[in-house]
A = this chain, B = another copy of it.
Amino acid sequence: MNKTLVIGASGQIGQLITKALVETGEPVRALVRDKSKLAHLKSDELEVMEADLEGDFSRAFAGVSNVIFVAGSGGATGADKTLLIDLWASKKAVDYAKNNQVKQFIMLSSIGADNPDSIESDIKPYLVAKHMADQYLMASGVPYTIVRPGPLTNIEGQGKITIKRPNTRDEMAIPRADVAKSVLFILSKDNLNGKIFELFNGTYDVDNVLV
């Protein structure tokens, strides 16, 4: 059975994705810096592997068919970590995926990563890193799907999204649970290679708009 590697599995979206995959019974390798963060998830099909994304984590790709990259340096660290994790670890993951002939690479990106100049805000350096990481994946030859959600919230998932960018920033918000649901739907399909989806809270079922 196809094994999925989740990079950044102890993050908020990473945990949602890993938990849902475990429940389907599919084999999952969850890459984390600290195993204890996934101690509450137990399954014969779940392999939790510790690795430092600032080092060499190529061994995580052995025997993997699908990769979900949901790692991020987070808002609490500086731009040096944005360069080392959001850009460089992502670049290395693409290289490893290519070397291991991965069949599907799903990248969690961000609204605005298509055009960092369009926004004058404190997160522009982050958007530059995500833009370059996305571009590297797109040019790599690795089959990819990129998702670019609006501002993430922790409200309960609605199970409904839209991929059409709304007019106001408030309307762009999306629950993390619905991003996870979208990623899992993409993982289940083999015809979404080369697609880039912006994701927002909306009124459509994922299978109606992620096409």
Contacts and interface: CB of A to CB of B under 8 A. Distances in A.
A56 B125 contact: no
Contacts of A139: 139
Q: How many copies does the complex hold?
A: 2
A132 B91 contact: yes
Interface stretch (A20-28, A74-82, A167-175, A195-203): A74-82
The A contact surface, by secondary structure, is helix
Contacts of A132: 87, 91, 132, 136
A129 interface: yes
A83 B79 contact: yes
A139 B129 CA distance: 18
Interface string A58-82: 0000000000000000000011101
Given A78-B78, A117-B56, A84 B136 contact: no
- Shortest Cβ-Cβ A-B pairs, 7 listed: A79-B79, A83-B125, A79-B80, A80-B125, A88-B128, A83-B128, A132-B132
Interface of A: 56, 78-80, 82-84, 87-88, 91-92, 116-117, 124-125, 128-129, 132, 135-136, 139
